[in-house]
Chain A
Amino acid sequence: MSPQDLIRTSLLLGAFVLLAGSYGLLYSVGLLLDRPALLLASHVSFALQCLVTSAIILLTPLTPWWKLLIVASCAIYFRIPPVTWRYLHQIHERSGED
C-alpha cells in the first residue's frame, strides 16, 4: 500500500462508519419527532455511505475479501436503525402491557 493509499483508505473507512452513524441518528430523530425531512436526510446520508463504499471498492488497494466485508457491512448498517427501532418499540409496548 502506498503512503497516499494508506491515508485515503483510512479516511474513507472513517467516513464509512461516520455516515452510518449519521444515518442512524437522523433516522431515529426523524421517527422520534415525526419529521419526514430528517428521514429523507437519513437516506441521503445512507446514499453517501453507499458512495463511500463504492469509492472503497474502486479506489483502495484492500483485498477483495475486505471489500466484500465492507459491502456486507453497508447492507447491515442499512437495516440496523429500522430493526433496532422496531424491536425497541415492541419491547416497550409489551412492557407497557405487562
Chain B
Amino acid sequence: MYRSQQLALKYFAAAIVLFGIMTVAGILSSIYYVRPGFLLNTFHFSTAKILHIDTLVIWLLMGFFGAVYWFLPSELGREVEGIALAEVFFYIFCAAVAVVAVVFIFVQYGGSSEFSLWFINQGRKYVEAPRWAAIGVVAVVAVFMYNVIGTALKAGKITGVVGVLIVDLVPLFALYLDAFPALTNMSQDLFWWWWLVHLWVEATWEVLIACIMALALMQLLGTSRWVVEIWLYVEVALVLGTGVLGLGHHYFWIGTPAYWLGIGGFFSALEPLPLLGMVVHAIYDAGTQHLKTTNRPAFYWVLAEAFGNFIGAGVWGFMMTLPQINLFAHGTQWTVSHGHFAFWGAYGCGVLAVIYLALEKARGLGGLDGNAWKWSFALLNIGVAGMAGGLLVSGMAQAFYERAIGGSTLGAFLAAQRNVWFMDGMYARLLFGLLFAAGYFVLVYDLLTIGERHTEAELETRAAAAGS
C-alpha cells in the first residue's frame, strides 16, 4: 500500500470521528427546540449548532481529502509528491480542529474584539473557526493542491479525471479566502460570504465529488475510463451551468439587488435536470453489473448518493427555490430540511462509499458484505429522510404562520415557535435524529470489524467444509 493510501485511512478515521461529533451536536441542537431550558447557561444552543455545522463541513472535507489521497497513486501510478508534508499537515489539521472544538465548548463566545476574531470565533456561519485556524485550513488545502498537481507533474501524466480535479482545486482554494474579510457593511459581508458557502457546496464540492465518484466507479464496477470521463465532463458542465448562478437563490433579505432573485430562481429551477440524468446513469451502471459486485456496501452507498442527491437537492430544493416561495421559506426550518437531505445525499453517501471501497483493499479482502452495513444503511437513510420530513413540517408551519400570516414580526416568530405543527415536526426530527445516531454507531462498529468478521465467517465456512 502507498503511504498516501495509509494517510487516506487516517483521514477517513478522522472524518468518521467528526461525523460522530456532528451527530451528537445535532441531537443536542434538536433537544433545545423541544426543551428550550435545556443546559441553560451551561452550554449554549449557538455553540451546539456551530459544532454541528462546522464538523459537517470538516468531516466531509476530510472524507474528500482521504478519497483523493486514496485514489491518486493508483490513478497516476506513483506515490503522491510531498507525501511527508501531507502527513505532517494531517496532524496539524486534526490538532487545529481539536483546539477549535475545545475553545467552542469551553469558551463559547467572546467580546466584539480582534482577540475574539483571531482566537475564539469569526462569527460567520459555517466558517466560525477563529482566524488562526482558518489560516491553518488554507495551508492544508494549499498542501493538498501541491500534492495533487505535483504528483501529476512528476508522473508526467494528467488523466481526464485528474485534469478536472486540478482545475477544481483552484476555486476550492481561492473561494475559502473569502472566509477572512471582516466587512462592517453587513450586506456586502453576506454577499461575499454566500460566494464561499454556495460556490463551495454547489460548484466546487459537486465537481470534487463527481471526480471522486468517477474514480470509485472505475474501481467498484470496472467501468471503462473512457465512459467515466465522458460522463464526468457532461455532468460537470451541467452541474456548473446550473449551479453557479443558482447563487442568487440565497440573496434574500440581505440588501442585494432584486434581479438576483430572478437569476437565482431560474438557474436553481434547472438544477434538478442533471440530477435526473445522474439517477438514470446510476440505474444503467447498476444494471450493467446486474446488481452484483464484490463490495455491496460501497455499491449501495453509491446508489444512495445518486438518489439522495436527486431527492434532497432536486425535490426538496425545487419546492422552495422559486422567488415567490423562497421569499417566505428563506431562513426557516424549511431550508434546514433541504440542507440536511441535500448534504447527506450529495456528499455524505459518497464519502461512505469510498471508505468501504478503501477498507476492502486495505484489509486485503476479496469483497465486503454482511448484515451490519445493511442496518447502518437503513438507519442512517431512514433517519435523514425522517429528519428532513420533520423539519419540512416545522419549516412550512413557520413560513405559513410566522411569515405569510404574521408578517415576520417578533410576536409572529414566537407564536410560530409554539405552534403545534412546528413542535410536532421538531419532535419528529429529534426522534429520527436518534435513529440516525443509532445508525452511526452501527456504522462505526461495521467499519471497525467488517474485515475481521468476514475472516471469521470464512474460517467457519472452511472449518465446516473440512468437517464434512
Q: Which residues of A contact B (CB under 8 A)?
A: 1-3, 6-7, 9-11, 13-14, 16-18, 20-21, 24-25, 27-29, 32-33, 61-63, 66, 69-70, 73, 76-77, 80-81, 84-85, 88-89, 91-92, 94-95, 98
Known: A7-B400, A10-B325. A24 touches B226 (CB 8 A): no
Known: A25-B283, A88-B281, A91-B226. A6 touches B276 (CB 8 A): no
- Residue in chain A with minimal CB distance to B311: A21
- Residue in chain A with minimal CB distance to B310: A21
- Contact A91 B272, beta carbon cutoff 8 Å: no
Closest CB of chain B to A1's CB: distance in Å?
A: 6
Name B277-331 residues within 8 Å CB distance of A: 277, 279-281, 283-284, 286-288, 310-311, 314-316, 318-320, 322, 324-325, 328-329
- Contact A92 B227, beta carbon cutoff 8 Å: yes
Q: Which residues of B contact A (CB under 8 A)?
A: 224, 226-227, 230-231, 265-266, 269-270, 272-273, 276-277, 279-281, 283-284, 286-288, 310-311, 314-316, 318-320, 322, 324-325, 328-329, 396, 399-401, 404-405
B319 interface neighbour in A13, A21, A81, Cβ under 8 Å: A13
B276 interface neighbour in A14, A80, A92, A95, Cβ under 8 Å: A80
Closest CB of chain A to B401's CB: distance in Å?
A: 8
The CA of A9 and the CA of B270, in the complex, are separated in Å by 18
Q: Which residues of A contact B283 (CB under 8 A)?
A: 25, 28-29, 32
Known: A14-B316, A25-B283. A2 touches B404 (CB 8 A): yes
Q: 18 other contacts beyond A24-B279, A62-B322, with CB at 8 A cut-off? A: A6-B325, A6-B404, A9-B322, A13-B322, A14-B315, A14-B319, A17-B314, A17-B319, A18-B311, A63-B324, A66-B324, A73-B269, A77-B273, A80-B280, A85-B284, A91-B226, A91-B231, A98-B226
- Contact B400 A32, beta carbon cutoff 8 Å: no
The CA of A30 and the CA of B277, in the complex, are separated in Å by 16
Nearest 10 interchain pairs by C-beta: A3-B404, A32-B287, A28-B283, A14-B319, A95-B224, A84-B280, A17-B318, A17-B315, A10-B319, A88-B284
The CA of A2 and the CA of B173, in the complex, are separated in Å by 44
The CA of A3 and the CA of B407, in the complex, are separated in Å by 11
The CA of A9 and the CA of B286, in the complex, are separated in Å by 35
Question: What is the interface of chain A mostly: helix, strand, loop, or mixed?
Answer: helix
- Contact A6 B269, beta carbon cutoff 8 Å: no
The tally of CB-CB contacts under 8 A between chains A and B is 115
Q: Which residues of A contact B287 (CB under 8 A)?
A: 28, 32-33
Q: Which residues of A contact B311 (CB under 8 A)?
A: 18, 21
Q: Which residues of B contact A3 (CB under 8 A)?
A: 400-401, 404-405
- Contact B325 A95, beta carbon cutoff 8 Å: no
The CA of A61 and the CA of B324, in the complex, are separated in Å by 9
- Residue in chain A with minimal CB distance to B283: A28
The CA of A64 and the CA of B111, in the complex, are separated in Å by 50
Q: Which residues of B contact A24 (CB under 8 A)?
A: 276, 279-280
The CA of A18 and the CA of B287, in the complex, are separated in Å by 22
Known: A16-B318, A21-B279, A92-B288. A80 touches B325 (CB 8 A): no
The CA of A80 and the CA of B162, in the complex, are separated in Å by 28
- Contact B280 A81, beta carbon cutoff 8 Å: yes
Closest CB of chain B to A5's CB: distance in Å?
A: 9
6 contacts between A and B (CB under 8 A): A13-B319, A24-B280, A29-B283, A70-B269, A88-B284, A91-B231
Q: Which residues of A contact B231 (CB under 8 A)?
A: 88, 91
- Contact B315 A18, beta carbon cutoff 8 Å: yes
Q: Which residues of B contact A76 (CB under 8 A)?
A: 273
Closest CB of chain B to A73's CB: distance in Å?
A: 7
- Contact A10 B280, beta carbon cutoff 8 Å: no
- Residue in chain A with minimal CB distance to B226: A95
- Contact B227 A1, beta carbon cutoff 8 Å: no
Closest CB of chain A to B277's CB: distance in Å?
A: 5
The CA of A44 and the CA of B433, in the complex, are separated in Å by 35
- Contact B276 A81, beta carbon cutoff 8 Å: yes
Q: Which residues of A contact B315 (CB under 8 A)?
A: 14, 17-18, 21
Q: Most chain-B CB neighbours within 10 Å: which of A61, A62, A63, A95?
A: A95
The CA of A39 and the CA of B40, in the complex, are separated in Å by 57
- Contact A84 B277, beta carbon cutoff 8 Å: yes
- Contact B324 A13, beta carbon cutoff 8 Å: no
Q: Which residues of B contact A63 (CB under 8 A)?
A: 324
Q: Most chain-B CB neighbours within 10 Å: which of A28, A33, A63?
A: A28
Closest CB of chain B to A2's CB: distance in Å?
A: 7
Closest CB of chain A to B312's CB: distance in Å?
A: 11
Q: Which residues of A contact B324 (CB under 8 A)?
A: 1, 9, 61-63, 66
Q: Which residues of B contact A27 (CB under 8 A)?
A: 280
Closest CB of chain A to B160's CB: distance in Å?
A: 13
- Contact B396 A88, beta carbon cutoff 8 Å: no
Q: Which residues of A contact B399 (CB under 8 A)?
A: 6-7
- Contact B224 A7, beta carbon cutoff 8 Å: no
- Residue in chain B with minimal CB distance to A65: B262
The CA of A91 and the CA of B273, in the complex, are separated in Å by 20
Q: Most chain-A CB neighbours within 10 Å: which of B231, B272, B400?
A: B272
